Amino acid sequence: MSKKVIIPNIVTLANLLLGIVSLIYTMDSKYQLAAIAILLAMVLDGMDGKIARKLDVTSNFGKELDSLCDLVSFGVAPALLVYSSILQDMGHIGLIIAVIFALCGAVRLARFNVLNITTHFIGVPIPFAGSLMALAILLSDKIPAIVFPLLTILLSYLMVSNLKVPKY
């Protein structure tokens, strides 16, 4: 087995690292830094598959690893971030909304892994949903608070919907 196989997996694990960093920043109430970490994870998430294809080392292991890392970086981290920074003011309803986002992200990833459709995605990809949540947090001083529960619910639904999203 070639050593170049590990290169895309290192990039994928760096995505996970940024997701964990985002969680830590959120726990420290450093919401802007937490959001930036999610957006940086998105950049790495866009690179790992391209690198694997370029090196001709794609694998089921890499696909599964990518999904596990994406759940943390684009599911759990944005859910905790939006809850801690805004939704917790809504009490249990805010908590439920945040949890639903992470759960829908997990379902979205599991469905992606078993369908193996090459022409399009079914439902909005979790990196898009999580990154949009992070971007909204970065702009939260310009967005009314009511937008956040609505956006979170909308993105949760779109991830598990049957909407066909083209692959680029």
For Cα atoms 151, 90, 75, give the angle at the middle one, nearest 5 degrees. 45
**What is the tens place of the pLDDT at every residue in 70-84?**
999 999 999 999 999
- CA neighbor of 4 nearest in space, from 61, 65, 52, 59: 52
Domain count, the chain: 1
Domain encompassing residue 87: 3-166
Contact yes or no for 151/100 (Cβ under 8 A) = no
The average pLDDT across 25-35 equals 98
CATH number of the CATH domain containing 100 = 1.20.120.1760
pLDDT of residue 1: 55
Q: How confident is the model at residue 11 (pLDDT cuts 50, 70, 90)?
A: very high
pLDDT of residue 5: 86
